[in-house]
Amino acid sequence: MLNLNPSMHELPRALQHLLARDQAADTDPAVVAALPRRSFLKLGAASGFALGLFPLAAQSQTATTAATAATLKPTQQPGAFVAIASDGTVTVTINRLEFGQGVQTALPMVLAEELDADWSSVRSQLGTNDLAYADPLWGMHLTGGSTAIKHSFTQYRELGARARAMLVQAAAVRWGVDTGSLRTQAGAVIDASGRRLGYGALAEAAMALPVPASVTLKDPAQFRLIGQPTTRLDAVAKSSGRQDFGIDVRRPGQLTAVVARPPVFGARLRRVDDAAARAVPGVKAVLRVPLDRGAEGVAVVATGYWPARQAVQALQLDWDTSAVEKVDSARQLAAYRKLAVQPGPRHFDADMAPLDRAPRQIEAEFVFPYLAHAPMEPLNCTVEFTAQGATLWVGSQMPGLDGMAAARTLGLQPEQVRVQVQAAGGGFGRRAIPSSDYVVEACAIAKAAQAAGVRAPIQTLWSREDDLRGGYYRPMHLHRARIGFDATGQVLAWDHVIVGQSILTGSPFEGGMVKNGIDATAVEGLRAPYPLPMRLTVHHPKMNVPVLWWRSVGSTHTAFVMETLIDQIARETDQDPVAYRMKLFGSTHPRHRTALQLAVDKSGYGQRTLPPGRAWGVAVHESFDSVVAYVVEASVKDGRPVLHQVTAGVHCNLVINPRTVEAQVQGAALMGLGMCLPGAAITLKDGVVEQQNFGDYTVARLPDMPAITVHTVPSADPPTGMGEPGLPPLAPAFANAVSRLTGKPLRELPFRLA
């Protein structure tokens, strides 16, 4: 998803500006808070810990040792995160969306480690748009950019340590002893004589104590939970079909809304004949509503999804598409090719004089299509709206931003909107959208329904077709490269062009991440870690196709280009592709070297002979501060590439839960494989998206899954991201194996062998 680089200090200011827009936050800091202070204090008291007064303005996380009790921020207060019941059950609230990445287990592991909780008594729940659950570094609510563990590792350790200190203090008071004589273990405080008090018996007394400003964290050598393979807290619910997602929300009297959407992005309505729709049993209202990007649609509100969908199909609609561009994929590719030879902004600007006289050259064009996020759970949002306020139940990656957008749409103050974050069945970036399109749509429908006399909670539910045709895709990209090199593989000059829409222009991220007209996400992963003399020109044409980050963002295409071209240079200079990469790394990229060597060693690359018809493929790539290397085995059967075996070497620094890392790499690899399969493309004809459902849009399925083993490099350094880094190197590793079998480089995703 979204790649947020903490070194870009402009970004938080841009985001805060967006949140403040139209809300007078500059003069009223309380507006920034998503919940009234009284509600937040109530939350803290109910959880069993005292909460002092703290500022409501979002701030960055600072070192605990430098803090004072009076300046602790909402993100540092254990009362919003830890609830201990009288039976000792510990419930940890998560400041992120759980949508398959395992954060609802990993963050409780981190907190429980410092709390010395009995892991068998630990539970977890998702949070809200309350300020306490903002990202402690960015000061905004965000699940994205593989930042959940990376940004909240220290935060959750400190939360657990603060809660533990308060429990120890409560025990010391009860026993009349010094805190230094006490220790904690498995959810209990123990004195020198062996007496013990469970956390459940101490929680009420602990809540009367002040929150300590500074705490001492464990030496990592003392970790008993962190680093241990741990079954996810939601594993039983998910494997038994009992896990509730946003789509499963049911409120008393709840109705369902389904929307008739325009065939072309941004189109409006000329005429609506809704007589047949209103006649469908169960229909409560038919509403003409504004949609994203200036479009219009018709929402049908009914007693359930099926009558609402039947009524939508019964609508007679006349669409006006005259004022909007009608993108056509074939014409778009031709236009991109013309643009690729034009001058444009440059990201790198090395001297290209050696290119023409280089003894060996490669000229290559790469084409990458639009891709849909296609999560298993389609978009949905449930809104309960009254004059006093509104509650939203939604699987949101940005609940603070979505709450602000809901308030604007409903005509409420931000503190009147509560977002109850729900588990989501996937997202891959689609649930973190600056325009809050599907949330705004749901709120607009709730508001229109109320005006029409329908007063009930309404769940707006997208169909699978809506989801695939509703826009916000990974952009289509064209790459062109001309490379000059010598017989040793030394690159003398690399002239590169990228053409593709910017996902950040016009968004709140533009100020910090679009420089000299170049979207930073479009070029991430290009060149590094190889010391190449590159000239990189970038064009960002504007098209009437909504685009957004997609799992691993720019690395979805840059990794493929870099790793297949590096492999081709190795082949054309008769060098082993692993040895060639190691030579290019030199001594400056030890994490790449160790990740690749780990994958090589564990796979048996170079040590065993593959069956006839199979070939090795190699790729390594860094994204979101983690390095993943793949060594794969592939074949070509009946003209179709087949991936048999994948061995991953991963360097993500300290591993919190090895099972989470393994699952994330497996899932990302399968998603990366999906990009290679025939039919894995969104195409447009005269402005209309041609794919409608999984029958004509390919996603990887269980039969496509290769055997995969995941190995991590041991490290005690602070953890880095793992939600996305497993995706980028899979496709190039697969392509490199296929190219060794066919003798032809692959330049397109999905693969085209003919």
Quick: pLDDT tens for 394-438.
Answer: 999 999 999 999 999 999 999 999 999 999 999 999 999 999 999
Kindly state whether residues 538 and 453 are assigned to the same domain.
Answer: no
Q: Taking residues 155-176, what's their average pLDDT?
A: 98
Kindly state whether residues 350 and 222 are assigned to the same domain.
Answer: no
Q: Among 560, 588, 557, 592, which Cα is nearest to 578's?
A: 592
pLDDT bin (cut points 50, 70, 90) of residue 28 is very low
Flag whether 87 is in a domain.
yes
User: Which one of 433, 461, 489 terminates a domain?
Assistant: 461
The CA-based angle 373-721-376, given to 5 degrees, is 25
Kindly state whether residues 270 and 404 are assigned to the same domain.
Answer: yes
Provide the pLDDT for residue 754: 77
- Classified as helix, coil or strand, 508 is coil
Kindly state whether residues 454 and 504 are assigned to the same domain.
Answer: no
Kindly state whether residues 701 and 573 are assigned to the same domain.
Answer: yes
Kindly state whether residues 444 and 554 are assigned to the same domain.
Answer: no
User: Which one of 182, 211, 239 terminates a domain?
Assistant: 239
Flag whether 332 is in a domain.
no
Chain segment 505-517, per-residue pLDDT in tens: 998 889 999 999 9
Does the CA dihedral 46-49-55-60 come out positive or negative?
negative
Kindly state whether residues 199 and 268 are assigned to the same domain.
Answer: no
Kindly state whether residues 227 and 259 are assigned to the same domain.
Answer: no
Kindly state whether residues 282 and 416 are assigned to the same domain.
Answer: yes
Q: Round to whole Å and give the CA distance between 744 and 738.
A: 8
Flag whether 478 is in a domain.
yes
Flag whether 63 is in a domain.
yes
What's the length of the chain?
A: 754
Q: Taking residues 143-151, what's their average pLDDT?
A: 97
Q: Round to whole Å and give the CA distance between 345 and 540.
A: 10
pLDDT bin (cut points 50, 70, 90) of residue 173 is very high
User: Which one of 184, 217, 239 terminates a domain?
Assistant: 239
Chain segment 542-590, per-residue pLDDT in tens: 999 999 999 999 999 999 999 999 999 999 999 999 999 999 999 999 9
Q: Taking residues 288-315, what's their average pLDDT?
A: 98
Q: Round to whole Å and give the CA distance between 176 and 219.
A: 28
Pairing of strands 122-126, 90-94: parallel
Domain containing 713 — which CATH number?
3.30.365.10
- With a CB cutoff of 8 Å and minimum separation 6, the contacts of 112 are 90, 92, 119, 122, 160, 225
Q: Round to whole Å and give the CA distance between 456 and 445.
A: 11
Kindly state whether residues 318 and 281 are assigned to the same domain.
Answer: yes
More confident: 77 or 36:
77
Chain segment 320-378, per-residue pLDDT in tens: 999 999 999 999 999 999 999 999 999 999 999 999 999 999 999 999 999 999 999 99
Kindly state whether residues 627 and 655 are assigned to the same domain.
Answer: yes
Proportion of the chain above pLDDT 90, given as a percent: 89
Q: Taking residues 77-96, what's their average pLDDT?
A: 97
Q: Which structural domain range is residue 57 located in?
A: 10-239
Q: Round to whole Å and give the CA distance between 423 and 244.
A: 7
Q: How many domains does the chain have?
A: 3
The full DSSP string for 460-493 is EE--HHHHHHS--BBPPEEEEEEEEE-TT--EEE
Flag whether 168 is in a domain.
yes
Kindly state whether residues 478 and 438 are assigned to the same domain.
Answer: no
